Amino acid sequence: MSNITNDEVDVVVVGLGWTGSLMSIELAQAGLKVRALERGEDRNNADFTYPKPADQYAYGVRNKIMVTPKDGALTVRHSMRDTALPTRQWGAFVPGTGVGGSGLHWTGVLIRPTPTDIKLKTYADQAYTRGQLEEGMQIGDYPFTWEEIEPYLDKFDKICGLSGNTGNLQGRIIEGGDPFEGPRSSPFPLPALKDTLNNTMFADAARKLGYHPFPNPSANVSQAWKNPYGNQIAPCNYCGYCSKYPCLNYSKASPQTAVLDSLKRMENFSYRTNANVLRVDLHADGKTAKGVTYADAQGNEVFQPAKIVVLAGFQFVNVRLMLLSGIGKPYDPLTGKGTIGRNYAFLSVGGNTLFFKDKQFNPFATAGATGQMFNDISPGNFDGPSLGVIGGAKIHSSQATGTPIGTALPAGTPEWGQGWKESMNDWYGHSMKISISTGCMSYREHYVDLDPTYKDPWGQPLLRITFDWRQNELKLQQYLRGIVRDITKELGPDSFSESFLSMDSHWDITKYVSTHNVGGAIMGDSPETSALNRYLQSWDVHNVFVPGGNAFPQNFQANPTALIGALTLFSAQAIKEQYLKNPGPLVQA
């Protein structure tokens, strides 16, 4: 072990997943010397050639490309009164690691939030009377307008080869798409994926009941695509190895398929793997960072001097690094003061599984994003105020995979042995799902901080999550349960099973939900209530930028990747156009 100092760079990027690769290429294109530091292994398309990833046990069950709990554990508790315990295996969410990060194993559903979602506080103030919403709720607006962010959503759609139906083109509603989507400047780059039987059944029933279904917007691309960086994404072959898998067909937009081959050609870009950043080092006055310190594969402590530091890890990693480095003031739920760790939020899912003896859904021929959804139950589009809840859900029938382990079987089926085998034989491919995926508000007592007890292999405290379900989210689940039941009745299955949260449910971290953890270093208009300004720049240390889901003030019902990509591109543009000319706070507090 020794101390090493690297050559100085203009920008050090911590983490080489979606946000790290987007930041790297955008800033390298501006001529800056950029170096990315990735804690995990290097990964290339060649590592995932057919048929390597088609292995459910290795990838889907044993989490082959995820961070191990040893390297990425957190501690979790339901309330401030509890003692948090560390995650010794992954359950509700599964963070990635390595080059590509979670952008390698995401499913590929690339849907935008609505204009109301990004101005949720404004909507809440207008639509709800005081006292109608749950106490302790801390909703925020995103600090930009729809018109400001849309060009970056559009750019990210093109980077990913977004496939689907356009619903709102420059204000004109187009049939077949989502009529509730915000106006988009250009149509979807590629047509929708092919529909499966569950899609058409669900869409027909939903339409009959007055909803507005449309194909899940997909970054599993429907046709060969060359994106603005010149990278190529291959047409999807519907193999169904998407969520938790690297794509064996180069068909899912990921840092590997969409960015890295271009980026690696640039001489002013370099990256190091097995480089685990331990902290951001600040100058004595605490106002700017001078670089980062990482542990390399040999256990050396390496100082990487840089003029700009981009924290581009997963949400947990970014917030934890800010706390470990003294960037901003840690959030204190008792006083409501401090910003780092504030507004942690997750999401909930649920739904029905419908069994049909006589229908064959061929689940093995599908893409991760295959499905239809509707957005009628999102904020502003249904009568939330009369229910006393805010938030919403996408209601969808998706058929993400046909992998056998975990196939849905009718209630009462034995979990092993002859009975299980017979049921598997009878029912594999004979079920479809109607699912919900909800937004999740932020609350004063939901936050992340440094755990007082548990430490990582470098002796640094783990991040602690304090989170549980609240009445608002549970009431929303009950409401959605009714809608899903109505659609189920319309479809008339032979039998069905339900899975929804009840009003006394607590957050269960053992069952997989989705890796859409958000908040903790949120963006906003005020340094009193947010960690970052509209350009994802730290209010406190102006040469630190923190792109990622950490910036979401609360979680909306849409999947987060589209907005994460857009925020990153928006921030990169501000660095290029404004910060380089005049380094300092880009927004005056």
Nearer to other proteins, 104 or 491 (CB): 104
Least distance from C-beta 564 to other proteins, angstroms?
23
Nearest alpha-carbon partner for 212 in 264, 172, 250, 176: 176
What is the rounded distance in angstroms from the CA atom of residue 579 to the CA atom of residue 589? 16
The residue from 62, 208, 226, 455 that contacts other proteins (CB under 8 A) is 226
Cβ-contact 339, 70 below 8 angstroms = no
Binding of residue 287 to other proteins (CB under 8 A): no
What span, in angstroms and rounded, lies between the C-alpha atoms of 49 and 32? 33
Q: In what order do the strands lie in the sheet with 431-438?
A: 214-215, 371-374, 393-398, 431-438, 349-355, 495-499
CB nearer to other proteins: pick between 208 and 226: 226
Cβ-based nearer residue to other proteins, 260 or 434: 260
Q: How far is the CB of 313 from other proteins (least distance, A)?
A: 25
Q: Which residues are catalytic?
A: 516
Residue tagged 């957190």 (tokens): 74
Among 142, 152, 229, 316, binds other proteins (CB under 8 A): 229
Backbone angles phi, psi at 226, to 5 degrees: -115, 120
Q: Helix 18-29 to helix 561-574 angle, to the nearest 10 degrees?
A: 30
We find the least distance from the C-beta atom of residue 233 to other proteins, in angstroms, to be 8
Should residue 57 be labelled a site residue for other proteins when binding is judged by CB under 8 A? no
Half-sphere exposure of 571 (CA within 13 A, CB side): 35
Instruction: Give CA separation, 307 vs 8, 22, 381, in Å.
Output: 8, 18, 45
Helix (H) or strand (E) holding 271: strand 269-272
Q: Judged by CB under 8 A, which stretch of 142-150, 222-230, 356-364, 382-390 contacts other proteins?
A: 222-230
Sort 534 into a burial class: Cβ within 10 Å, 0-12 / 13-18 / 19+. buried
H/E stretch holding 280: strand 276-282
CB 41 to other proteins: min, Å: 17
Tell me whether residue 256 or residue 315 sits nearer to other proteins (CB atom).
Answer: 256
Q: Per CB under 8 A, does 99 bind other proteins?
A: no
CA-to-CA distance for 45 and 301, rounded, in angstroms?
Answer: 30
Task: From 230-238, 417-425, 501-509, 553-561, give the range in contact with other proteins by CB under 8 A.
Answer: 230-238
Region of 55-63, 243-251, 446-454, 489-497 interacting with other proteins (CB under 8 A): 243-251
Q: Residue 232, interface with other proteins (CB under 8 A)?
A: yes
Minimum distance, C-beta of residue 19 to other proteins, in the bound complex (Å): 20
Judged by CB under 8 A, the stretch of 150-158, 245-253, 326-334, 515-523 that binds other proteins is 245-253
Q: Which of 507, 490, 387 is nearest to 432 (CA)?
A: 490
Tokens of 268: 């002013």
Report the residue number, 226 or 489, with the smaller CB distance to other proteins.
226
- Candidate segments 249-257, 397-405, 502-510, 541-549, binder of other proteins by CB under 8 A: 249-257
What is the Cα–Cα distance from 351 to 329, expressed in whole angstroms?
40
Amino acid identity, residue 125?
D
Q: Does 56 bind other proteins (CB under 8 A)?
A: no
| Integer Cα distance of 409 and 355 in angstroms | 8
Residues of span 251-270 touching other proteins by CB under 8 A? 257, 261-262, 264-265
Residue 310, beta-bridge partner list = 13, 545
150: which 2 tokens? Answer: 């849309």
Distance in angstroms (rounded) separating the CA atoms of residues 583 and 578: 8
Does position 235 interact with other proteins (CB under 8 A)? The reply is: yes
CB nearer to other proteins: give 236 or 436: 236
- In the chain, count of helices (H) and strands (E)? 13, 24
As measured in angstroms, the least distance from the Cβ of 51 to other proteins is: 8
Site string for other proteins, 400-439 (x = CB under 8 A): ----------------------------------------
- We find the least distance from the C-beta atom of residue 264 to other proteins, in angstroms, to be 7
Q: Single out the residue of 555, 540, 469, 439 nearest to residue 140, CA to CA.
A: 555
User: What's the rounded Cα separation, in Å, for the pair 247 and 259?
Assistant: 15
Among 231, 397, 403, 561, binds other proteins (CB under 8 A): 231
Instruction: Please tell me the count of residues contacting other proteins according to CB under 8 A.
Output: 25
| Interaction between residue 249 and other proteins (CB under 8 A) | yes
Sole window of 113-121, 155-163, 247-255, 515-523 interacting with other proteins (rule: CB under 8 A): 247-255
Q: Distance between CA atoms of 3 and 303, rounded to whole angstroms? A: 8
Beta bridge partners of 545: 310, 537
Q: Does residue number 248 form part of the binding site for other proteins (CB under 8 A)?
A: yes
Told to check if 132 binds other proteins by CB under 8 A, we report no
Q: Whose Cβ is closer to other proteins: residue 207's or residue 226's?
A: 226
- Judged by CB under 8 A, does residue 365 bind other proteins? no
Quick one: 233 or 390, whose CB is closer to other proteins?
A: 233
Q: Which of 59, 211, 250, 269 binds other proteins (CB under 8 A)?
A: 250
Q: Least distance to other proteins from the beta carbon of 550, Å? A: 30
Under the binding rule (CB under 8 A), the answer on residue 514 touching other proteins is no
Answer yes or no whether residue 131 interacts with other proteins by CB under 8 A: no
Spatial CB neighbours of 415, under 8 Å, sequence gap ≥ 6: none
The verdict on 274 binding other proteins (CB under 8 A) reads: no
Please report how close the Cβ of residue 40 comes to other proteins at its closest, in angstroms: 20
DSSP for 522-566, please give it: -B-S-TTT-SB-TTSBBSSSTTEE--SGGG-SSB-SS-SHHHHHH
Give contact residues for other proteins (rule: CB under 8 A).
44-46, 49-50, 52, 223-224, 226, 229-232, 234-235, 237, 239, 248-250, 257, 261-262, 264-265
